[in-house]
A and B are shown apart, each in its own frame.
Chain A
Amino acid sequence: MPEEHGTKKGMIRAMELLEVHNVSKHYKNFSLENIDFVLPKGYIMGYVGQNGAGKSTTLNIITNLCKSSVGEVRVNGITCMEDTVQYKESIGYIGGDFYYPNNFTVRNIRGILKNFYSTFSVEQFNELLHQWKLSDKMKVKDFSQGMKVKLMFAAVLARDTKLMVLDEATNGLDPVVRLEILKLLQEYIADGERSVIFSTHILSDLEQIADYIFFIHDGKKVLYDAKDELLESYLLVKGERRAITPQLQKALVGIMDNAYGFEAILPSDRADLLNHDFHFEKPTIDEIVIHYIKDKEKNG
């Protein structure tokens, strides 16, 4: 029955807030290759990789700041081509660099936002400014890094967006502000209708709240899974180099040596290769990433 098929397809689409399909982009010295993932409504994704891995390129394609050579991006079911205004209204972007002119006051910025975005709520914006003690008359050049990031958050949160895109937005922030932002992001997705994608080269405190991890290296996908799955799929193994059997050598990922031993990642389903000579523990996402990068450097 075609009707039923239509409903079904519609339902599946409605579950995904962000769809990135086979996106590629080629530059002279760098290529983003076949990036493909989905982010359901109401979840948070960490987009992880080294500097220059292609994180910003991907996020800029999502925000339509740059166009992909191939592939398709949908936000809340639509492409930017289908409805550019709705597409852009549904995205809130916060970057690591402050994007408002330095000699502007908060009042100037509010005026611009009001005219630019149809869903911008002055009341909500003012309330957030008040809450975060950002003065109306201050010029933003006198703001601390934390205040600048908060101003960018206020500008996004005062609009009716569906997807928050954060590109290294918490870089250089102190732990207290980082924690506040963490809470903000969880608040943002709390009703299950909105999602967040954030890029970072260090996960640390953001790791706890991420539902999905996409790990990109040299423009290509390395790992993409639910974070809890990833954490359970690997063990962090330590021990003496000479205790490694040939079989174990093959299974270990990204062996790193120091003067007294080695450290590597092992898929959990190969734990049978370990004996009491080795110490093993739960890895963090950062540790998985570091050893994968090491492995890529060695084996290409």
Chain B
Amino acid sequence: MKIIISNQSELPIYAQIKEQLKEQILNGQIPEGSTLPSIRQLAKEVGVSVITTTRAYSDLEAEGFIATMQGKGSVVLSKDNSMLQEQYLLRIEEGLSTAIDTARVMGLSEEELVGIFYNLLHETRNGR
């Protein structure tokens, strides 16, 4: 787990913490089922206020990334969780939309775009 707070960022500190944790949960660096440090522990480590980390965690909870249980702390939820699934689908759509937009800008045909997509799919599959 990695958190970097920037004073130059336009994002408030709670949002910086939230986005970085979200990113690491989505890309698997923080595995599902793992327990995050407590709100107070994190505040102390990062050097921010307790209210700030509380807000970051409650946002992550509301978006379905973590669940906070009395005595057990905040646990990263399984990827099968429906709210999290939505977040994943949203990410996929965002990524594909960027590709589509770029393809339109350079006047690529739909067939060519789909061709690139399949090629990449095969390449990454063989890569594994």
Given A208-B47, A226-B51, A227-B49, A192 and B40 contact (CB-CB distance below 8 Å): yes
Residues of B with C-beta under 8 A to A190: 40-41, 44
B51 lies within 8 A of A282 (CB)? no
A5 to B49, CA, bound (A): 33
CB contacts (< 8 Å) of B41 on chain A: these are 190
Interface stretch of the complex, out of A50-58, A77-85, A106-114, A179-187: A179-187
| Contact mask for chain B residues 28-54; partner A; CB cutoff 8 A; 1 contact, 0 none | 000000000000110110011111100
Q: Does B73 make an interface contact (CB < 8 A)?
A: no
Residues of B within 8 A of A163 (CB): none
What is A's interface to B at a CB cutoff of 8 Å? 42-44, 182-183, 186-187, 189-192, 208-212, 226-228, 231-232, 281-282
Contacts A183-B44, A190-B44 given; does A228 touch B50 at CB 8 Å: no
A85–B92 alpha-carbon span in the complex (Å): 63
Distance of A116 from chain B, by nearest CB (Å)? 30
Residue from the set B10, B44, B55 with the largest chain A CB neighbour count within 10 Å: B44
- Number of interface residues, chain B, beta carbon within 8 A: 15
Nearest chain-B residue to A187 (Cβ)? B44
A231 touching B51, Cβ below 8 Å: no
Asked whether, in the complex, the Cβ of B55 is within 8 Å of the Cβ of A43, the reply is: no
Contact, CB under 8 Å: A186 / B10: no
Q: Which of B10, B40, B49, B55 contacts A210 (CB 8 A)?
A: B49
Residues of A within 8 Å of B50, CB to CB, are 42-44, 189, 211
B12 within 8 A of partner (CB): yes
Q: Which residue of A lies closest to B43 (CB)?
A: A186
List residues of chain A with CB within 8 A of the CB of B48.
208-209
Q: Offer 22 A-B interface pairs, CB within 8 angstroms, sorted by A.
A: A42-B50, A43-B49, A43-B51, A44-B49, A182-B47, A183-B47, A187-B44, A189-B40, A189-B50, A190-B40, A190-B44, A192-B40, A209-B48, A209-B49, A211-B49, A211-B50, A227-B49, A227-B51, A228-B12, A228-B13, A282-B10, A282-B12
Minimal beta-carbon separation of B77 from chain A (angstroms): 25
Interface contact A186-B52, CB-CB below 8 Å: no
Complex Cα gap A183–B44 (Å) = 7
Interface residues of B (CB under 8 A from A): 10, 12-14, 40-41, 43-44, 47-52, 55
Nearest Cβ on chain A to B31's Cβ, whole angstroms: 26
Alpha-carbon distance A277/B83, docked complex (angstroms): 41
A122 CA to B52 CA, complexed, in Å: 36
Q: Indicate if the CB atoms of A228 and B47 lie closer than 8 Å.
A: no
Residues of chain B with a CB closer than 8 A to A232's CB: 12
Given the complex, which residues of B lie within 8 Å of A191, measured CB to CB?
A: 40
Q: How far is B49's CA from A191's CA once the two chains are assembled, in angstroms?
A: 14
A281 to B8 alpha-carbon distance, docked (Å): 10
Q: Are A231 and B12 in contact (CB under 8 A)?
A: yes
A228-B44 contact in complex given A189-B50, A209-B49, A282-B10, C-beta closer than 8 Å: no
Give chain B nearest CB distance to A122 CB in angstroms: 27
**Nearest CB of chain B from residue A17's CB, rounded to whole Å:** 13
Instruction: Chain B residues near A227: list those with CB within 8 A.
Output: 49, 51
A102 → B minimal CB distance (Å) = 34
The residue of chain B having its C-beta at the shortest distance from the C-beta of A42 within the complex is B50
